[in-house]
Amino acid sequence: MIIKKLAVGPLMANCFIIGCEKTREAVVIDPGDEEDRILDALEDMKVKFIINTHGHFDHVGGNKKLKEATGAPVLIHSLDAPMLNTLSSDAAIFGLSIENSPPADQMLEDGDTISFGTVNLEVIHTPGHSPGGIALYADGNLFAGDTLFAGSIGRSDLPGGDYNTLISSIKNKLYGLDDDIIVFPGHGPETTIGHEKKNNPFTR
């Protein structure tokens, strides 16, 4: 499995390209900005899906241009799908200009599997940062969106966020995974499930 990480946009959100080595099919997770960099990083891989871990503008701001360039459908959890229509006004609060995303082509739910090439991503619904936040798991790797960070957790003070729900998602959904699983957060460096269980000050 190919994994490429790009920190994009003014908020340095992590965008991930996950590819199948055999078929060169790929998905792009959270294309928040800098679509040209993302397209260059794909090299010869063909994008099968654009996946949003949640609907905040710094993670979905590149949906429109990336879909236009690749023709790939946009996937997001049903509870965050309405947020794709309000990116422009949401970003304006931060003094940024972002085009609204096209509507979702497919709604994701907990337990769904997203398949491309020989790779299968399992959808884990992790609300708390946003109502429809998800993590994606495959082959010892967890793409956690803004639910869990190295030494921290996602914000819960934004519209639709809830602190107790977020902590429950982490403890009941993510901490049940194996300790050696690598966590790729939506911002910042990688960590592991085991390290966060022992050291994360928000969940100890």
| Domain coverage including residue 12 | 2-199
Q: What is the pLDDT of residues 86-127, one digit of tens each?
A: 877 877 777 877 888 999 999 999 999 999 999 999 999 999
pLDDT for position 99? 82
Q: Does residue 204 belong to any structural domain of this protein?
A: no
CATH number of the domain bearing residue 122? 3.60.15.10
Domains held by the chain: number: 1
CA nearest neighbour of 103 among 127, 83, 120, 121: 83
3-state secondary structure of 134: strand
Average pLDDT, the chain: 96
pTM: 0.95
3-state secondary structure of 108: strand
Residue 146 clears pLDDT 80, i.e. is over it: yes
Q: What is the pLDDT of residues 170-204, one digit of tens each?
A: 999 999 999 999 999 999 999 999 999 999 999 98
Beta-carbon contacts of 24 under 8 Å, excluding residues fewer than 6 positions away, are 44, 45, 46, 117
